[in-house]
Structure 1
Amino acid sequence: MSARAVFQAVLCSLVMVSALSPAHALTEQELIAKLEAAGYSQIRDIKSTAEGTSVKATKNGKEVSIVVDRSGKIQERR
């Protein structure tokens, strides 16, 4: 395999990894907007954890605990 082919393979891999990775962590305002768009209100107690960002909120009149992972996926904790 030529050096040029290796370089192109490495470059292609880096582009793919960067495209699949979040460009940056959500700011608090972006996180709140994302949760409000998903139907949550009274968003509070925002804390960074090993899993992502933990949040307390209300949805459909019920108190919920949420974790938003680094990719932006919202998961309710029970």
Structure 2
Amino acid sequence: MDMKSQKLAALSFLTAFSALPAASALTFENIKARLEAAGYSQIREVPSGKIKTFKATRDGKERSILVDSTGHIQELQ
């Protein structure tokens, strides 16, 4: 997925969840546990403003991930 597609996906994601409280309601430990349960490792937060964005490894590839305030995980490829 190219950068333009990633930005479009992120915008769609933000629009869909804009009525929800900020993702900061979940702690890093909560989010890390959810990502680990989903098969991710080497999880780290990437500063990005109001939405929690993470980098993590899954199936040997580094991935960009968005997590909303409910803990919903969306991978940007």
Give the AA of the match of 1:70: S
User: Which 5+ residue runs of structure 2 have no aligned equivalent?
Assistant: 1-20
SS at match of 1:66: strand
Q: For 1:58-77, what aligned pairs fall within 5 Å after superposition?
A: 58-77=57-76
What is the root-mean-square deviation in Å for CA atoms of aligned residues?
2.2
- 4+ aligned runs moved over 4 Å, structure 1: none
User: Which 5+ residue runs of structure 1 have no aligned equivalent?
Assistant: 1-20
Residue equivalent to 2:49 = 49
- The percent identity for this pair of structures is 53
Give the TM-score normalised by the residue count of structure 2.
0.61
| Number of aligned positions between the proteins | 56
Say which one has the larger Rg. 1
**How far apart, in 1, do the equivalents of 2:56 and 2:31 lie?**
12
SS at match of 1:70: coil
State the structure with bigger RCO (CA 8 A, min sep 6), 1 or 2: 2
Q: Deviations over 1:11-34 (max 9, x none)?
A: xxxxxxxxxx8xx81111111111
- Residue 49 of structure 1 deviates from its aligned partner by 3.2
